[in-house]
Amino acid sequence: LEREAVSLCTYECRLVPGLLQSEAYARAVFDNSIPLLTDEQTEAQVAARMERQAMMRERPTVPFGFIVEESVFRRGLGGAQVQSNMLDHVLELTAPRNVTLQVVPVELEFHGCLDGPLRILETLEGRRVGCSEGQQNGRLISDAKEMILLCRRYDTLRSQALNPTESRDLLERLRGEL
């Protein structure tokens, strides 16, 4: 579905979304997975993740929206060099006008997506499909009533997060702190 979507919205509160991860950051994620992966499995996962990112460059008219918790960018996964590289990578990938990044500041006590990460895809036919992710599972959501609720939550969070310019400024400040 992801490759056929005419729009894709993602909210993430744990890790940098896969579509925005640098190669080193993705490797750090897979190097620390439980159960441990072999080196070959890790490299295969990293390669698949990088291949997925090509979709954003290949589809410049498709809107990609990302809302990510500030704490994700402060986590330090992989160390300072990996974090620095990841911030540069995110800033580069979110520069095109079809890609929007908004950061949820740590000061925001309550927001519309406290129930966890989600993705919303829209198909060519105008159908919306959601995905919520958790430990050991992910759930595909296509029920119209549930999708209305997911879209409402995402829209609420979008209004609560920093705007794209403020979000870029924050990432540049974080980059300068490393």
Got the DSSP string for 73-134?
HHS-TT-HHHHHHHHHHHHHHT-STTEEEEEE-TT----TTTT--EEEEE-TTS-EEEEEEE
Residue 56 domain-assigned?
no
How does the average pLDDT of the chain come out, rounded?
95
Sheet containing 7-12, strands listed edge to edge, beginning at the edge strand earlier in sequence: 99-104, 64-69, 7-12, 118-122, 128-134, 137-141
Asked if omega into 63 is within 30° of 0 (cis), the reply is no
Q: What is the bridge-based pairing of β-strands 99-104 and 64-69?
A: parallel
The verdict on residue 100 lying in a domain is yes
**pLDDT class for 137, splitting at 50, 70, 90?**
confident
Residue 138: the pLDDT is 82
Look at the chain and report how many structural domains it folds into: 1
Task: Judge whether 138 lies within some domain.
Answer: yes
- What percent of the chain has a predicted confidence (pLDDT) above 70? 100
At residue 134, the pLDDT reads 77
Distance CA 136, CA 30 (A): 15
Owning domain of residue 80 = 2-17+62-177
The CA distance from 86 to 91, in Å, is 9
74-129 pLDDT per residue, tens: 999 999 999 999 999 999 999 999 999 999 999 999 999 999 999 999 999 999 99
